[in-house]
Amino acid sequence: MLNPTVMWACILVYLLIVLGVSRFVSWRETKKHGHHNVFKSTLAWPLLVMTYIASLMSVWTFFAGPGGYYRGGLSYWFSEMTYFPMFVVIMYFSTNKVWLINARRNYITPSDCFCDRFNSKALRVITGLVFLVASVPYVTSVMVSIGQAADVATGGRMNYTAVILIIGIAMVLFTCIGGFTSVAWTDTAQGLAFMGALFVITVSALIYCADGSITKTFSMIRQNVGDSWFSYPGTYAWTPYGARFGYPFSCLIGYTIMLPHVFVRSAYSGDDLRTQRKVMTITPLLQAFVWTLTFLIGAVGIASMPNLDSSATELIIPYIVENVINPVNGGLATVLMICFFVGAAGVGISTADSFLLVGASVVSDDFIISLFGADLEQKKKENIGRIVILVLGVISVFMALNPPGLIYTLIMFAIAIVMPLFPILMYGIYWKRATKKAAVICSVVGTALVLMTYFVWNIGGTWYGAIGLAANAILMPVISLLDKPDDPAESAAFFAALDESHRRFFDVRAAGSK
């Protein structure tokens, strides 16, 4: 399809734009404040909404998402749509509460909130490790997808290793240079780019494969593969009945709340309650828009190219462009291949840089500074953070050079591993009787159960982190009640911050009396 020279030009131009935006924002922040914080900043709602959605969507949008809908079918899309109404409720009672506390406590890493509530260094280490384990696979999946996108778009004529190394080095550089605020700006630009590219690809695929008709698409599916695509477990028997609960629940809790880079954005980064409300209400609509586009691509794919091998379905976009559109309109096919690469690069890099930031903050703040009691000035903290970003980036790039088979597996494992932490967070916020011993035990047990679902029982692809989450929902109150109560003084500052923020932001009588 694309000439390798054209692809390298696209890569270099794209990276130069991202590096330029990053350098400009970091220069502006330094000029305005004297320095720029690598790991933390407060954002207005348009910027926070876009960096949230861009960092959330990841490579899933151009690879695993369409491939999942190809294999999982219509009911798989319905199962995802079910959680969007619940997202507003869950965020209101979880990350919005954390935001109120953070307004007084000034958290940086996801573990800060857990440690502040339970006053436990052991809990900081365990949660920090869990968040770190979730980060590296996600960054790896991004690198793999971008390398694959460049390789497929050029018909296998790109050097995969060279693409991974150049993209990886550039990504690490602009993350180190820019820090949190510049990442938010570059994420916003890349978010708009990937949604535009996805829309163009979807409309083109519908027009050339099914005359622009969704009804015809469904008729072609029924003719080519039968009715199995329209019900559980799908044509590929990929979404069994357990997935009706496991998958949407993992999306609701793990994907949109507890992934570390998402948690930092939705719980720490809003500059006011209006921003929190915008994130709470607008992002589900944007998610539904993006997921519906990817669903339509998967549907068009199985309608026009049925019976692909399971691993090949993750490349359904370039397959459609090359095999269906290119024979009819070569010029459009070239444009769509460029859109495919730019979209994958945009959504991928916007996720990877966010994960690199939060992973580096875990290592530098949770491990090096907090555990070892290092009392460092801001400049030294930032330098440590940049070094850790570099190290994590190198590890992720190295893993991407020899990746596992399905990108989707990496992404869903990262989502699953953080899910058991959610009950610990919720009990910690709403129940003062919850103890640190219960929190530590549950953080270990929940993680172990997720690992067992994947590597012992082989049901991770159905239940993801739901079993670990359910176990902790039961164990937290049981262990807490069997354990002696913690010293109230240890969590006094946490609850004082929550109470003070409630009075400040939700005192209706005070507002009405003015």
Q: What is the pLDDT of residues 244-270, one digit of tens each?
A: 777 788 888 988 899 998 999 999 999
Nearest alpha carbon to residue 234 among 69, 27, 42, 438? 69
Three-state secondary structure of 95-124: HHHHHHHHHHHCCCCHHHHHHHHHCCHHHH
Nearest alpha carbon to residue 302 among 59, 64, 71, 63? 71
> For residues 86 and 99, what is the distance between their CA atoms, to the nearest angstrom?
19
What residues does each domain of the chain span?
4-418
Mean pLDDT of 306-330: 89
Between 419 and 172, residue with greater pLDDT:
419
Token pair of 132 as six digits: 């770190």
Q: pLDDT band at residue 37, thresholds of 50, 70 and 90? A: low
> For residues 250 and 267, what is the distance between their CA atoms, to the nearest angstrom?
19
Mean pLDDT of 86-90: 90
pLDDT, mean over the chain: 86
Q: What angle do CA 74, 75, 78 make, to 5 degrees?
A: 95
The yes-or-no verdict on residue 98 having pLDDT over 60 is yes
Q: CB atoms < 10 A from the CB of 157, how many?
A: 14
* Bridge partners, 43 (sequence order): 270
Mean pLDDT of 196-209: 95
The yes-or-no verdict on residue 200 having pLDDT over 90 is yes
Q: pLDDT band at residue 510, thresholds of 50, 70 and 90? A: very low
Between 212 and 178, residue with greater pLDDT:
212
The yes-or-no verdict on residue 292 having pLDDT over 90 is yes
> For residues 204 and 151, what is the distance between their CA atoms, to the nearest angstrom?
22
The yes-or-no verdict on residue 293 having pLDDT over 80 is yes
Residues ≥6 apart with Cβ < 8 Å to 397: 143, 164, 165, 168, 169
> DSSP E strands: which ranges in 111-258?
none
Q: How far is the CA of 388 from the CAs of 125, 130, 393, 497, in angstroms? A: 17, 17, 8, 31
Q: pLDDT band at residue 478, thresholds of 50, 70 and 90? A: very high
Mean pLDDT of 230-246: 77
The yes-or-no verdict on residue 40 having pLDDT over 80 is no
Q: pLDDT band at residue 374, thresholds of 50, 70 and 90? A: low
Question: Do 304 and 209 form a contact (C-beta atoms < 8 A)?
Answer: yes
pLDDT for 420: 95
Token pair of 267 as six digits: 């719980």
Q: What is the pLDDT of residues 395-448, one digit of tens each?
A: 888 888 876 555 556 777 888 999 999 999 999 999 999 999 999 999 999 999
> For residues 477 and 500, what is the distance between their CA atoms, to the nearest angstrom?
26
CATH of domain 4-418: 1.20.1730.10
Token pair of 140 as six digits: 């790896």
